[in-house]
Amino acid sequence: MIFRSWTKENAIMDKDGIHATRLYDLPEGQIMHLRLSAGAGLKPHKTPVNVAFYILEGEATVEIGNESVDFPADTIIESPRDIPHSIYNNSEQDVRLLVIKMPKP
């Protein structure tokens, strides 16, 4: 059995209100845990694979292409490959989410 906790893994990013840890990283996929502080966000970017965002805590603003929607916890959002996407925390509390990429880019 293999297990990990985002609280015990080394951060791959911890700046500008974004704390990111890699929870799963094999050729068939990658799962990242992100914690966004109030006002923090990832700038628009593209990925060569489909991405799913699963909101664990808080409310996140997700932009995919021309759409921008606020999503509460316990929501999964699909983002197609090669389409610009970004995610922001416009609230006063932390947002925690999983970023799932399959296959690993």
Q: Is the CB of residue 104 less than 8 Å from the CB of residue 27?
A: yes
Mean pLDDT of 30-52: 96
If you ran DSSP here, which 8-state letter would residue 78 be given? E
Q: Give mean pLDDT, residues 15-36.
A: 96
State mean pLDDT over 69-87: 97
Neighbours of 29 (CB within 10 A): 14
Q: Decide if domain 16-101 falls under CATH 2.60.120.10.
A: yes
In this prediction, residue 105 carries a pLDDT of 83
Check: CB of residue 103 under 8 Å from CB of residue 29: yes
Average confidence score pLDDT of the chain: 96
Mean pLDDT across 27-35: 96
